[in-house]
Copies of this chain bind each other. A is one copy, B any other.
Amino acid sequence: MQITSKFTVAVHILTCIDIFDGQMRVTSDVLSGSTGINAVIIRNVLGQLRNAGIVETRQGSGGAHLAKPLDEITLYDIYKAVDCVDDEGLFHFHENPNVECPVGRNIHKAMDGRLAAAQSALENELKGTTLAEVVADTRRIIDAE
């Protein structure tokens, strides 16, 4: 089981947009070239990021731009934008425990809070990092090359 690569792709393309915007028109084709991901998938991801208010794109004109400052975009915002987890939550609970069994009809209640806490721990960690930090690290590594 793994969280969809759309998440790391999204971080990648947002980093590209910040670094290359101004130097070139950052089209889905350019981003496809940098990520190695199909341009249609890139446009899908860009669409999700646009819906979340993170980037701006326009039909025809070409070139994506950030919609808000880097330090106001957390990894959690991106994770949510690309739908890493659905409403069911991170953990998949087996769906038909037997209600005739005292354990079967109560195990859900006994576990839910703890599963939610684990998911929150993950998400809070993502909330604690902004794109600004990722881009800064990336620039630092590039400069050191």
**Using a CB–CB distance below 8 Å, which chain A residues touch chain B?**
1-5, 7-9, 11-12, 15-16, 19-20, 33-37, 75, 84-86, 88-98, 101-104, 106-107, 109-111, 114-115, 117-122, 124-126, 129, 133-134, 137-138, 141-142, 145
Contacts and interface: CB of A to CB of B under 8 A. Distances in A.
A134 B111 contact: yes
B34 A98 contact: yes
How many monomers of this chain does the complex have? 2
Given A15-B103, A134-B114, A95 B36 contact: yes
Chain A contact residues: over half helix, strand or loop, or mixed?
helix
A134 B110 CA distance: 6
The interface centre, meaning the residue of A4, A97, A118, A120 with most chain B CB atoms within 10 A of its CB, is A118
